Structure 1
């Protein structure tokens, strides 16, 4: 569990425009007796310059929703959009380009290359794409995540928290339209986790970034502007201005329902 700062602040320059949108989105695995419905006609919008947390019991579909919205998994039916781009039906090449140009990713595993220093890891996706980094933006990102003094260090010379900050900076450096984070503090101690959550919070407030984060931790969720709750592949609640206590109470209600069902 992480200690929240003064609470999530209103996102800077927030608008009603959706950075990503799911409409009647379903994801089914298997057939016949082995059929599993991971997502059941989910409709949700993730607004620009807003920090959204996705929560729910194990197996509720929260990671599946994020993976479908990020173009990492195909949908069975319905629609998934990033901005004005419909993901369903895109070729593998177009999907790869979309993920490279419009989406930032942060995972529980830091996914840094050990032979590259922090700066090289941050700019790697742009280097692969043959794009030159916007130096002013890169400097802003590095400053925001507090890595200015660590850019020449390799991953094995950095703490876990610092490595995840490199991953955050890498996701931000390409100016993505939306950033998806899957349990980004799962491998971190409380202090490092709180730092990374603070950086995600600041990227929304100060840089106007859009962040969608899957988490199981009510305190981590309290850094968000909004929490979307899933159960059995469906959205069952949408909480604005969450607090850790309010999120915890909602999760306890899920547990109680599960024990009585």
Structure 2
């Protein structure tokens, strides 16, 4: 498989999201511009309420910005109607959430291929076999969710996100419901999907250990991008988070470290 070209899988420009008005007005995102490169694993971090999940939801087309633009590849999301946006999310974006969101009456394989079946598409069997093998699910495909551990269920959710060969996978606290061992396994599989499959992954997390699996960590505070770190380690991320918790940036921008 060709290595990723490090083009742009998704990007936001001057992205703002405001909830409410008057005394109840809350600025969740304040002119955030960021690019997520192909074949890269990015973690989004920051204090509670800083806008992490809002940024991910807007970048993934799950929520609409108040102003600014969002692109998946070269497609500007604001130009799409509801049907086109639904198709783009189904065909070009994968999602992994804290809740596994598996259907209890379906087998692991049926859960993995469900989005493709809904779209009337057949899976690329070679790709699917590779994803299933990488995630260690080959002997579990006939099992229903109740017959799987939490870690195994989240692996099924990861396989479902990867099955359509999406342009980008978004994860919102994907290990939040797992113990440390199962969480480390799932993070390792996400890491492997980037390294071995050329996948692009963007993950929201509050956990410095989880962020240590990424290629890059971006930090938000009060709805603004305030810092970026490459080749992160849990200790470096934790140190930056501790310092960030006392900061209140007055101007938008990213400070390199």
**Quick check: TM above 0.5?**
yes
Secondary structure in 1 aligned to 2:245?
helix
Residue 88 of structure 1 deviates from its aligned partner by 1.5
Map of 1:7 onto structure 2: none
- Where 1:20 maps in the other structure, the secondary structure is strand
Task: State the TM-score, normalized to the length of structure 1.
Answer: 0.93
2:149 to 133, 141, 159: 159
Q: Over aligned residue pairs, what C-alpha RMSD do you find?
A: 1.0
2:14 match: 24
What is the Cα deviation at residue 14 of structure 1? 4.5
Please give the alpha-carbon distance, in whole angstroms, between the structure 2 residues aligned to 1:256 and 1:36.
Answer: 20
Deviation per residue, 1:222-246 (Å, 9 max, x gap): 0000001000000000111101010
Q: Secondary structure at the match of 1:100?
A: helix
Q: Match for residue 137 of structure 2? A: 147
**Mapped pair 1:133 → 2:152:** no
Structure 1 position 33, deviation (Å): 1.3
Paired residue for 1:180? 170
- Cα pair 2:97 2:172 within 8 Å, conserved: yes
Q: In the alignment, does 2:66 pair up with 1:68?
A: no
Q: Measure how far apart 1:254 and its partner are.
A: 1.7
Displaced runs of 4+ in structure 1, greater than 6 A?
none
Find the counterpart in structure 2 of residue 212 from structure 1.
202
Partner Cα separation in structure 2 for residue 37 and residue 64 of structure 1:
11
Partner of residue 190 from structure 1, selected from 180, 184, 187: 180
CA contact 2:17–2:29 (8 Å) conserved in 1: yes
Report how far residue 91 of structure 1 moved. 1.0
Is residue 54 of structure 1 aligned with residue 44 of structure 2?
A: yes
Q: CA deviation at 1:16?
A: 3.4
Task: Quote the Cα distance in structure 1 between the aligned partners of 2:53 and 2:17.
Answer: 12
Q: Give yes or no for contact 1:75–1:88 (8 Å, CA) kept in 2.
A: no
1:58 counterpart SS class: coil
TM norm structure 2: 0.94
Aligned to 2:78: 88
8 A contact 2:212–2:234 mirrored in 1: yes
Partner of 2:222: 232
- Equivalent of 1:119 in 109, 131, 153: 109
Residues of 1 paired with 2:48 and 2:173: CA distance?
13
Structure 1 residue runs without a partner (length 5+): 1-11
Q: Structure 2 regions of 5+ residues with no counterpart?
A: 249-257
Shift of 1:89: 3.7
- Report the equivalent of 1:223: 213
Q: Give the match for residue 231 of structure 2.
A: 241
- Greater RCO structure (CA 8 Å; 6+ sep): 1
- Residues paired across the two proteins, number: 247
Q: Are the equivalent residues in 1 in contact too, given 2:6–2:39 (CA < 8 A)?
A: no
- Correspondence for 1:9: none
